[in-house]
Structure 1
């Protein structure tokens, strides 16, 4: 398997703050291998992007996500498809 360098979307707005450019730095989240959705924190960890940026992408529709009473849920298969369709850097 060959590693791909992916080009993630640019920030949606110019005034998002410096923390948005940072990779995920929190603790390693527990991910249930049988769950059908990810939380914002789990998705941020998996794509190595800050939770703030991941949440912004979920809110503006960049990442396929569903807003529920418990917050944002990101369907596993849709996130995998989204990553697979990113252009290579």
Structure 2
């Protein structure tokens, strides 16, 4: 891969806002999570950028935990099906 194929990972495209309660803009606001006064945020922003990132990470971890729990349930159901289904052969 040639060097020209690489892009700046942070700035190669603009993110889609809002992200977990944060969006840039021209307003002032207060972060509900950390109570800091914010400048240059969207008028509907409820989080500063660091708190929005933490919020997004928290939601992702909860989703991962739910997926793990569902996978465990699937594995248990598969085991039960093996027990109650007669073997062919």
Q: Same fold judged by TM-score > 0.5? A: no
Q: Give the structure with higher Rg (CA).
A: 2
Range class of TM-score, shorter chain: under 0.3
TM (norm. structure 2) is 0.23
Structure with the larger helix share: 2
